Amino acid sequence: MLLGPDPAEARPASYEGSAPSCFLTGGGALEICRDGSEAEGVLIAPAPCAFVRGVQLLRLARSEAPGPIQALFQGQTPVASRRDEPCPERRATDSRDGGALRTGRTFEALVTTLPPTADRFWVDLPEQSTRARGWSEPTPTAEGIGPRDPIAVTGRTWAGEAYSYVFLLGQERVGVTGGDDAETERRGRRGRRRAEQDAPASGPADVRRRVQIEARTLDFQTFEIRTRTADGYGLAWTPFEAGAGRGRRSDPPAPAAVIDEAGKPVTSACTAPAFETHGLAGSISVVDRTYHYVYTDVLPEDCGLAPEKRRTGLFLRTAQDLSGAKVWSTARKLAGPLPPGSLVRVARAKGLQRWAVSYTCQRPANAPGGPVADICLQYTADMNLDGIGALKLYADPVEAGRSPAYLGLRSGGDGSGRYDRSAHFWMTDAEGNLDTPAIYPNKAGFLTWLDRLAPTASGRDTSSLYGRPVYWATWTVRQIGAQ
């Protein structure tokens, strides 16, 4: 249970849509208010053959054309096609298909609309297979790169480093890579046994786990993937080249798992059937020249449970140099348990010496609209990392995922009062800390999220991911007693 001395206070019961809706946070010293006039909008409504999730808007450390704001996110895997072919309906049917990292740059004034973007790296989808299957069931050629849940942050600019880094999540079959300790292997065996029990009778379970991988870039257009050297012991930066692996010319680069100070790969705690893996999604924030990677993962003691029943913990790793052989410190637990599948982002607040913590939640049952999905937000009292764990993120019972610190987002939904606020992220500066567009200088943050229930542009519900719109919103915070 997460307990704290200053839990967020619930909104007035008289709240009605456009009336101010406020709650206290930051040890009672701050108030977050959102009402019907708070800015929201549609960031993008993708085509039926495309998706957008986990949009991070990054203010570059140096200004470059066409603008200072870099958008990056996980999108669909590109498929071979001719220009005259239509954009067909697609579905996510192969767990190995991690999509593609997409990036694009824009002006300050256009930040509320997703800029034109391009694929940067991905797993190739064979042209023959995609044509034969009508693009509905893409099949990657190999394990390759799984660019899920990207997080971008600058390198050590204070030491003259020009690179920016992107950390992503791949999926590996259990036992593919070495470096596991005995306890991890025991957890893996338990996960395999459960997955095999749940697998359909038609064949063995596809048991996997998440693994963190790393890329670097000078311009967010061309990327180098961190790989192993030919002897398997050293590390190298290998440029990604579109089309590698086609026509037997060369194999796409096989990324190396990011290693921590103990020499172990940064992987999710539990194995699971391919579409049910969890863990390692979060954020990276630079404070005092130290990188703070805060992320959720399944509590190791819950690995023996069914994936949907596994509780989550909040963990911290730190680093001084993202290019080193051993990047992160060993994991330190900040908080838990959290509800299954929780997503938490942490960054230094804009203009304040406090941590801002956003997380998936449900509104309380007596809130407007009832217990619907929302995004919650709290601030710590200061920059002490222990203050993150001291926040009471959820009301009892924690498993219900309810909190009075919800933002009251209005956009999205299926029209019947149901909402889905998935893969939320926000706008940051180059060091991963909260920032806002110049057009909203007085706002405390700029949030993005995917709604998998909102209607698609085509009006069809072939997929809960492809074609679903992504939204944005701002929020306001003020100090209590401030004039």
Tens digit of each residue's pLDDT (9 = 90 or more) over 422-466: 999 999 999 999 999 999 999 999 999 999 999 998 888 888 999
Residue 204 C-alpha from the chain's centroid: 30
SS3 assignment, position 280: coil
Q: How large a percentage of the chain has pLDDT more than 70?
A: 81
pLDDT at 184 over 90: no
What pLDDT score was predicted for residue 315?
A: 98
Dihedral angle, C-alpha 374, 375, 376, 382, nearest 10 °? 180
pLDDT at 203 over 60: no
What pLDDT score was predicted for residue 37?
A: 78
Inter-CA distances, 305 with 193, 233, 252, 271, 397, Å: 11, 35, 36, 11, 19
Tell me the pLDDT band of 33, cut-offs 50, 70 and 90.
Answer: confident
Tell me the pLDDT band of 84, cut-offs 50, 70 and 90.
Answer: low
What pLDDT score was predicted for residue 135?
A: 40
pLDDT at 404 over 50: yes
What pLDDT score was predicted for residue 98?
A: 80
Tell me the pLDDT band of 483, cut-offs 50, 70 and 90.
Answer: very low
Q: Which residues pair with 169 in a beta bridge?
A: 148, 212
Tens digit of each residue's pLDDT (9 = 90 or more) over 297-311: 999 999 999 988 999
- What distance in Å separates the CA atoms of residue 433 and residue 66, rounded to the nearest whole number? 23
pLDDT at 133 over 70: no
b/e 102-140 (16+ beta carbons within 10 angstroms → b): bbbbbeeeebbebbebebbbbbbbbeebbeeeebeebeb
Residues 406-418: what's their mean pLDDT?
93
Q: Which residue has the higher pLDDT, 66 or 211?
A: 211
Sheet of 344-348, strands arranged across: 344-348, 355-362, 373-379
Backbone angles phi, psi at 87, to 5 degrees: -90, 105
This model's pTM is above 0.85: yes
pLDDT at 193 over 70: no
CA atoms within 13 A on the CB side of 25: 31
Q: Which residue has the higher pLDDT, 276 or 338?
A: 338
Residues 331-350: what's their mean pLDDT?
96
Q: Which residue has the higher pLDDT, 389 or 145?
A: 389
SS3 assignment, position 317: strand
Tokens of 315: 């963990």
Closest CA to 463 of 84, 94, 123, 74: 94
Indicate the average pLDDT of the chain. 84
What pLDDT score was predicted for residue 78?
A: 85
What pLDDT score was predicted for residue 129?
A: 42
Span of 157-171, 199-213, 284-298, 307-321 with lowest mean pLDDT: 199-213
Q: How large a percentage of the chain has pLDDT more than 90?
A: 63
pLDDT at 199 over 80: no
What pLDDT score was predicted for residue 82?
A: 58
Tell me the pLDDT band of 244, cut-offs 50, 70 and 90.
Answer: low
What pLDDT score was predicted for residue 174?
A: 79
Sheet of 332-338, strands arranged across: 282-287, 290-298, 312-319, 332-338
Q: Do 79 and 131 touch, CB atoms closer than 8 A?
A: no
What pLDDT score was predicted for residue 413?
A: 94
